[in-house]
Amino acid sequence: MSEITKEKVLEALKAVKAPGGDVDIVSAGMVSEIVIAGKNVMFALQVDPDQAQAYEPVRKAAEEAVSALEGVDKVMVALTAEKKEGAGQPGQQRGRKPQPPTASQAPGIPGVDHIIAVASGKGGVGKSTTAINLALALASLGLKVGILDADIYGPSLPKLLGLKQEPQPDPENPEKLAALEAYGLKAMSIGFVVDEATPVIWRGPMVMSALQQMMHEISWGDLDVMVVDMPPGTGDAQLTMAQQVPLSGAIIVSTPQDLALIDARKGLNMFKRVNVPILGIVENMSYFICPNCDTRHEIFGHGGARQEAERMGVPFLGEIPLDPELRERSDTGRPIVATEPESPHAKAYREMAEAVWAKLKTGDTGKKSMPRIVVE
């Protein structure tokens, strides 16, 4: 089998004409950000935002042209239609910014009953570890669960689940990739198609397109719950999730200290603004029990997340202690809920899962109609 190269991809794309048929998309300078990962090819087409709809057939033609190359299994093509500075939306009132679409307006993922986001305002608070163990705890309740790694720049799921293989086309639906499976979970991450040492240098529109394709072009099957491990912060990925799928709720992960809580508060308020219910706050690294003397140490303080939950009027889901065993199992792809189900950590995650599922299955997520967000 011949090697897939950027030169071969570009040569195939020279057969694709831009609208009007006078020049091909390569000569027009539209092709950028080519990433080749095994049998998967990803790239972007830069277009004028006002012509994005007209270029959708071009995007599909580009996808088909590269898919025809020997050795290519899957092609991901994004239109990077960035708004020009100062340009307004059609019908937008002067001096006002448009309201961001809310979760209630977004279409769902076929077969998926509930989608919940696990988020944090900043990195390094154990959000991904919380997401994977919460997903496993939900599965331990007898639910069908999937997990989506929405962190395009720093995917954690391959390491957390110990998965290294690339996703393959679904035999029953070859136009989609089959989600990978581990510990009874369906899983998908950009880390499955891009080597962990390869930096993903993409602009916001391509990140959003990649998320959309991982949600809608993956064979997820029937799921009771999809857990989405969000990247830290309040940027493109968070807004894309709120716009593209009806999130049933969000869980905010924080450590106890004030600096982390400030950022957690921002994340919480962002989800509220786009009408996503807050299922609760988790205090991670809440305390440390010395294995030698059995003394409790509150390294980062204690109780800050609980106080924040009370202040914001949202549920407090519990405390997860700082423990080397939890860290080691996460680093080696052996999440503690799956590999030490009777441990205190696993029990704490199961209690969270029970509380979250109780809200989801009864519809008691606190969701309510939100006012329009208008900035004068």
Structure confidence by residue, pLDDT tens digits, 33-73: 787 877 888 887 887 766 767 788 888 899 999 999 998 88
Q: What's the gap between Cα 66 and its chain centre?
A: 26
Average pLDDT, the chain: 78
Contacts of 137 (CB under 8 A, 6+ apart): 337, 346, 349, 350, 352, 353
Among 147-156, 235-244, 264-273, the range with the most confident prediction by mean pLDDT is 147-156
The full set of domains in the chain, from first to last, is: 7-80 (3.30.300.130), 103-362 (3.40.50.300)
To 5 degrees, how large is the angle CA 247–CA 249–CA 251?
Answer: 130
CA quadruple 322, 325, 330, 331: dihedral sign: positive
Q: What was the pLDDT predicted at 154? A: 80
Per-residue pLDDT tens digits for 96-141: 344 444 444 456 788 999 999 998 866 667 789 999 999 999 999 9
Q: Assign 44 to helix, strand or coil.
A: strand
DSSP 97: P
pLDDT > 80? residue 149: yes
The torsion of the CA quartet 189, 193, 194, 195, rounded to 10 degrees, works out to: 100
Q: Which residue has the higher pLDDT, 254 or 123?
A: 254
Question: Could you tell me where the DSSP H helices lie in the chain?
Answer: 6-13, 56-67, 127-140, 157-161, 204-216, 236-244, 258-273, 304-312, 324-331, 336-339, 344-362
Q: Which residue has the higher pLDDT, 157 or 307?
A: 157
Record the tokens describing residue 349, joined without a space: 């995650």
Q: Which residue has the higher pLDDT, 146 or 286?
A: 146
Per-residue pLDDT tens digits for 310-342: 787 888 888 887 777 777 888 888 999 999 999
Residue 291 burial by CB count (10 A; 0-12/13-18/19+): exposed, middle or buried? exposed
List phi, psi (to 5°) of 331.
Answer: -70, -25
Q: Which residue has the higher pLDDT, 285 or 192?
A: 192
176 vs 228: CA distance, rounded Å: 19
The residues facing 178 across adjacent strands are 219
Per-residue pLDDT tens digits for 160-211: 999 988 888 888 887 788 899 999 999 999 888 776 656 566 666 677 777 8
Among 79-93, 189-203, 265-279, the range with the most confident prediction by mean pLDDT is 265-279
- Nearest to residue 49, comparing CAs of 109, 90, 6, 4? 90
Record the tokens describing residue 57, joined without a space: 């057939």
81 vs 75: CA distance, rounded Å: 19
Q: pLDDT above 90 covers what percent of the chain?
A: 26
Output helix, strand, coil percentages for the chain, rounded to the nearest 5. Answer: 35, 25, 45
Q: Which residue has the higher pLDDT, 45 or 157?
A: 157
Contact of 17 with 23, CB cutoff 8 Å: yes
pTM of the model: 0.71
136 vs 346: CA distance, rounded Å: 9
Q: What is the mean pLDDT of residues 335-364?
A: 90
Q: What was the pLDDT predicted at 46? A: 80
- The H or E element containing residue 116 is strand 112-119
Q: What was the pLDDT predicted at 84? A: 43
214 vs 220: CA distance, rounded Å: 10
Q: What is the mean pLDDT of residues 18-30?
A: 84
Record the tokens describing residue 20, joined without a space: 């009007």
215 vs 157: CA distance, rounded Å: 15
Contacts of 223 (CB under 8 A, 6+ apart): 111, 112, 113, 144, 145, 146, 186
To 5 degrees, how large is the angle CA 213–CA 214–CA 215?
Answer: 90
- The H or E element containing residue 185 is strand 185-189
Q: What was the pLDDT predicted at 195? A: 66
**In which band, very low, low, confident or very high, does the pLDDT at 8 lie, cut at 50, 70 and 90?**
very high
Q: What is the mean pLDDT of residues 266-270?
A: 75
